[in-house]
A and B are shown apart, each in its own frame.
Chain A
Amino acid sequence: MSTTTVSRTPERPARPLWRRLVGFNLLAAVVLGVGGYYFGWWIGHLVTNTKSFEYTEKVDENDVALLLAYVFGVVGFLIGMGFANYPVQRLLGRPPSLREKEGEGVSRYFGLCTDHKVVGIQYLCGIGLFFFIGGLNAMLIRTELLHPTPTFTGANQYISLVGMHGAMMMGMMTSGILGPFANYFVPIMIGARRMAFPRIEALTFWLLMAAGFILTSTIFFGGFPTGWTGYEPLNDQAVMGMDSYIIFFALVGVSMTLLGLNMMATIITMRAPGLTWSRLPIFVWATFSTSILMVLAAPMLIAVLLMAALDRTVDTTFFIAAGGGSSYLFENLFWFFGHPEVYILALPGFGVILELLPVFARKPLWGYRLAIAGMLGVTLLSFFVWQHHLFVSGINADLRPFYILSTEIISIPTGFIFLCFIGTLWRSRISFTVPMLFCLAWAFNFLLGGLSGVFLSDAPTDTTTHGSFFVMAHFHYTIMGGLIFAFFAAIYYWVPKMLGLNFNEKLGKVHFWLMFIAFNSTFLPLFALGMEGMPRRASFYEPKFHTLNVWVSVSAFVLGFSMLVFLFNTVYSFIFVRQKAAENPWHSKSIEWQVPTPVPVNNFEQIPVFDSDPYDYGTPVPVGAGVGGMGGPQISGAGG
């Protein structure tokens, strides 16, 4: 049975360069974004009756001007990209449409495009950029910590660096897997031609990019002293750099909400015939669970940041005790989002790992339903644990047992995932490919992260380790060990399908081993430092911690170097060697590997019909079903 998919894109004569530059595109977006920024800045000064329009003057005084500048800047940017055209057309009664700028040219990657595959690649590049900026911040932090006393940054700059690193990673990487890989592959995995709301899909990406640049701009306004959590009352007292943080995270929240909404609507409504809930690939289930959290938790983040913005601009008193407010209100609302946020980061990693394991273990996924129960269990329970972040902040002591228990209980559904991991590997024939190595490393890292989390869920141990490097080691093991290793597994696994080009495997393995060893060498000693009492977010520490800190810093530099190896591999493989990837290099039975490379604009010429469960490795391909005619290798009996 053959599959031939043909793009419907009509051929048009090439337009002259000047004509291509005029219109709704990235250039117009930047121009209108900058214009909007200065317009907002001007309006802000107008309404606050300050005479100065100087960019740098009175830099810590006019939060109204900066917030309005950001808001108008983002609105101008989106108008320039063309996001306002369709809503205006609908306002005038034009009929709905689904597609915009789904051409074949390179320009579609730099503008509003409703092709989910283009958006996926946009996400991969955009998030990659900010991941490297965040990583660079980490290198600067570790450079500072080479000495017990501040050397090249002052205390303010150091805490801003820590805040930027944390906010960049926690904000941008919320979409680290869903943005590139779920956007690209979920529609294909469910046999759909598009996402439910294609323009919203594109909007989520460009909002995130705007957010990333806004956060980066905080260095022009004095940075922010709160770390990634933005705690009150420090938030209210901070200089204008805090406004960058507020707008950044609010935009991330909007992007997250819309991304989750779009994913859920797509999965619920656009599955191909025969693709029942019990036949969904596990990655789609992980996407679905994550999306529930995004839709329900992120609006709380938006709300609490809007409250903080109002406190800073129009002098509301949500978090000001003298005006009847309370900083604990911020902490409660923030962590009501913040703890699900941890699972927003972790769940897609679970999905990637469990999706890849059967491919490289040549076995069906063990405990498919158990894995789903685990992910949904984590989703549900993550809304009932947020107070454990406030154990030392004056929480009512009577509440502690409940939150200790709920936090410890959440390790049970997480344990389901590990059980499925072990069960799938049990007596399997493992191929130690680069993606599989990252999967195996994920299990090791996340296990350490999870086990150390059990200690932190207990109020007594949490009280002694709170605010120390122990906490930092814990969440780096869960977030970097859980998410980033899964992120790289996904990159090595899926990018050959996305771009049609192979990575160099030897360089990939060098990247993996460097990263795995350096990661553990960096973060394992932090547990010891934390237990000894070294605080987070401080640029000077006791001399007795010096040796271990030097070790950690050097390890961190090796970790940073491993990212350069990855970058080199990307440039070397995709620009110089350009070895074409086979259509199904991993002999996967999953549907995304059965479509041609590159995937056509409409994915499938006709909507596929599903007639069996996923992950049927070890069973012969049914007669009359499968992948014939695609040019890829036959996979009949591959899993045996």
Chain B
Amino acid sequence: MGLQIPAVPAGVEIPPEPPDVGARALAVGARLLAGGTTFFFLSFLFAYFYLRSIDADHAWRPKHVNPSTGLGIAFIVCLVISIVLAVLAGRGMKARRAGWVRFAAGAVVFGLATVAIQCIEYTTQNFGPTNGAYASVFCAWTAFFLLATLGAMYWLETQVATEFRASRSPSEHGDIRDPDRLIAPGLDAAVFYWGYLGAIGVITYVVLYVI
């Protein structure tokens, strides 16, 4: 293979990596993670329609199995607000507006609120995972969505925390040159993933509550 490897004197220190390499990896990584997440939740979507269509032993959905519409609406409202705030944070960051951190923090708060609402739902609903196939799909699908939400909130929180740290003690050097330049791509990737996951959440809500 014809390649050119320039000669370098022995003992030369290799400089820290430019941040744009990590930025590209973050952007691509977020999109690939979204792809994997899609197929994970597709399994539950498939289970929903498959089990609903065969309705084995007429046990798809006993009459008393009805999740709380009020809590469902609260869930979806918090989810949408969180995504909107995250998108605003991402745009604010790109426009170099200082207030983006508040939007991002708000997105985390509302994202965690969806988790809390779902937990309330579990404790107040009049059915459990054993009450038929719909109940099984409902409990498992929402539980794993809840876990994915917690992961996305962790990701967003790290961006907020990094920004706070960067403003307190800038120019901390490690093996990445000027690591603060990764805050924007990091936020961008996190916002993309949360937006994508949020879209899955909306589909989850529509399938489990509306259809």
* Residue positions of A touching B, CB distance < 8 A: 1-6, 8, 87, 90-99, 191, 193, 196-197, 257, 260-261, 264-266, 268-270, 281, 295-300, 302-304, 306-307, 310-311, 314-318, 321-326, 328-329, 332-333, 589-591, 594, 602, 604-606, 608-616, 621-622, 624-626, 629
Pick from B44, B57, B162: contact of A95, CB under 8 Å: B162
16 contacts between A and B (CB under 8 A): A92-B165, A95-B176, A96-B186, A193-B14, A261-B33, A261-B36, A265-B32, A269-B21, A269-B25, A297-B39, A307-B136, A323-B57, A323-B59, A324-B55, A606-B8, A625-B4
Chain B residues lying within 8 Å of A594, measured Cβ to Cβ, are: 1, 3, 5
Chain A: minimal CB distance from B78 (Å): 22
Q: Tell me, in angstroms, the Cα distance from A611 to B137 when the chains sit together.
A: 54
Instruction: Please tell me which stretch of B46-54, B66-74, B113-121, B192-200 contacts chain A, meaning at least 4 of its Cβ atoms lie within 8 angstroms of it.
Output: B46-54
- Most A CB contacts (10 A, CB to CB) among B3, B8, B11 go to B3
Is B43 located at the chain interface by the 8 A CB criterion? Answer: yes
- Most A CB contacts (10 A, CB to CB) among B51, B161, B179 go to B51
CB interface residues, B 112-138, toward A, < 8 Å: 129-130, 132-137
Query: Once the chains bind, are A611 and B40 in contact (CB under 8 Å)?
Result: no
* Residue positions of B touching A, CB distance < 8 A: 1-14, 17, 21-22, 24-25, 28-29, 32-33, 35-37, 39-44, 46-47, 50-51, 54-61, 129-130, 132-137, 139-140, 144, 154, 157-158, 161-166, 172, 174-176, 179-180, 182, 186
Q: Tell me, in angstroms, the Cα distance from A487 to B50 when the chains sit together.
A: 39
Chain A: minimal CB distance from B40 (Å): 4
**Residue on B nearest A606 in the bound complex, by CB:** B6
Query: Once the chains bind, are A99 and B175 in contact (CB under 8 Å)?
Result: yes
Query: Once the chains bind, are A316 and B176 in contact (CB under 8 Å)?
Result: no
Query: Once the chains bind, are A318 and B59 in contact (CB under 8 Å)?
Result: no
Chain A residues lying within 8 Å of B33, measured Cβ to Cβ, are: 261
Q: Tell me, in angstroms, the Cα distance from A193 to B14 when the chains sit together.
A: 11
Chain B residues lying within 8 Å of A324, measured Cβ to Cβ, are: 51, 55-61, 132-134, 136
Chain A residues lying within 8 Å of B6, measured Cβ to Cβ, are: 1, 3, 606
Query: Once the chains bind, are A296 and B25 in contact (CB under 8 Å)?
Result: no
Known: A1-B6, A318-B51, A616-B2. A310 touches B129 (CB 8 A): yes
Chain B residues lying within 8 Å of A264, measured Cβ to Cβ, are: 28, 32
Q: Tell me, in angstroms, the Cα distance from A303 to B141 when the chains sit together.
A: 10
Pick from B29, B56, B164, B172: contact of A326, CB under 8 Å: B56
Chain B residues lying within 8 Å of A4, measured Cβ to Cβ, are: 7-10
Known: A322-B57, A589-B1, A611-B3. A94 touches B165 (CB 8 A): yes
Query: Once the chains bind, are A590 and B2 in contact (CB under 8 Å)?
Result: no
Q: Is the interface of B mostly helix, strand, loop or mixed?
A: helix
Query: Once the chains bind, are B11 and A6 in contact (CB under 8 Å)?
Result: yes
Chain A: minimal CB distance from B192 (Å): 14
Query: Once the chains bind, are A326 and B32 in contact (CB under 8 Å)?
Result: no
Query: Once the chains bind, are A610 and B1 in contact (CB under 8 Å)?
Result: yes
Query: Once the chains bind, are A306 and B140 in contact (CB under 8 Å)?
Result: yes
Query: Once the chains bind, are A333 and B10 in contact (CB under 8 Å)?
Result: no
Chain A: minimal CB distance from B56 (Å): 5
Pick from A91, A296, A325, A610: contact of B3, CB under 8 Å: A610
Query: Once the chains bind, are A91 and B161 in contact (CB under 8 Å)?
Result: yes
Query: Once the chains bind, are A333 and B25 in contact (CB under 8 Å)?
Result: no
**Residue on A nearest B22 in the bound complex, by CB:** A96
Other than the known A261-B32, A326-B54, A333-B47, what 10 A-B pairs have Cβ atoms closer than 8 Å?
Answer: A6-B10, A95-B174, A96-B176, A264-B32, A299-B39, A299-B40, A314-B129, A315-B129, A329-B47, A615-B1
Chain B: minimal CB distance from A631 (Å): 14
Chain B residues lying within 8 Å of A609, measured Cβ to Cβ, are: 3-4
**Residue on B nearest A610 in the bound complex, by CB:** B3
Q: Tell me, in angstroms, the Cα distance from A624 to B4 when the chains sit together.
A: 7
Chain B residues lying within 8 Å of A304, measured Cβ to Cβ, are: 43
**Residue on A nearest B173 in the bound complex, by CB:** A95
**Residue on B nearest A87 in the bound complex, by CB:** B154
Pick from A95, A265, A303: contact of B172, CB under 8 Å: A95
Query: Once the chains bind, are A270 and B51 in contact (CB under 8 Å)?
Result: no
Query: Once the chains bind, are A314 and B130 in contact (CB under 8 Å)?
Result: yes
Chain A residues lying within 8 Å of B54, measured Cβ to Cβ, are: 326
Query: Once the chains bind, are A323 and B43 in contact (CB under 8 Å)?
Result: no
**Residue on B nearest A318 in the bound complex, by CB:** B136
Chain A: minimal CB distance from B45 (Å): 10
Chain A residues lying within 8 Å of B37, measured Cβ to Cβ, are: 299
Query: Once the chains bind, are A90 and B158 in contact (CB under 8 Å)?
Result: yes
**Residue on A nearest B33 in the bound complex, by CB:** A261
Query: Once the chains bind, are B186 and A265 in contact (CB under 8 Å)?
Result: no
Chain A residues lying within 8 Å of B158, measured Cβ to Cβ, are: 90-91, 93
Pick from B43, B61, B175: contact of A303, CB under 8 Å: B43
Known: A322-B57, A323-B133, A626-B2. A93 touches B164 (CB 8 A): yes
Chain A residues lying within 8 Å of B154, measured Cβ to Cβ, are: 87, 91
